[in-house]
Amino acid sequence: MLQMRNHSLRRRLLYLLVIIVVILLGLGSRRYAEHLPPFVGVHVGDALWAAMIYFGFRFLRPQSGLRHAAALSLLFCFAIELSQLYQAEWINDIRSTTLGGLILGRGFLVVDLVRYTAGIACVALLDWCVRLRR
């Protein structure tokens, strides 16, 4: 039992470290978008945001399956994107802040759903490959 807890703790710490790296990469992709190749500057930030959500679910429930984490992440990301169709003044005021914009987004774009799907698919595949090597 203790060995299982240590394994779970190690996995959580690894996911936390990955979350921090993904956040830094995502913020960098926004800050320095003009210095990146156009495709990367436009699309990677949203894919990294979705990847961070995936790793967040893996952090919270490291014992859950990869498909479960990917499905929950996709559902969460799609819900946030669809919430952008709601344009009440109070939530737009939150979205107009830096943190609110990073978390809730600013406006609905169908292409964001594709970016989220691609980001989650890539990191879930990476996660699966890493687990296979263990």
Task: Find the Cα–Cα–Cα–Cα dihedral 32, 37, 42, 47, rounded to 10°.
Answer: -90
pTM above threshold 0.85: yes
Cα dihedral 27, 30, 33, 37 sign: positive
Residue 83 identity (one-letter amino acid): S
DSSP sequence for the chain: -HHHHHHHHHHHHHHHHHHHHHHHHHHHHHHTGGGS-HHHHHHHHHHHHHHHHHHHHHHH-TTS-HHHHHHHHHHHHHHHHHHTT---HHHHHHHTSHHHHHHH-SS--HHHHHHHHHHHHHHHHHHHHHHHH-
- Domain range annotation of the chain: 1-133
pLDDT digits (tens, 9 = 90+) for 98-113: 999 988 999 999 999 9
Q: What residues of the chain score a pLDDT lower than 70?
A: 1-4
Res 100: pLDDT: 93
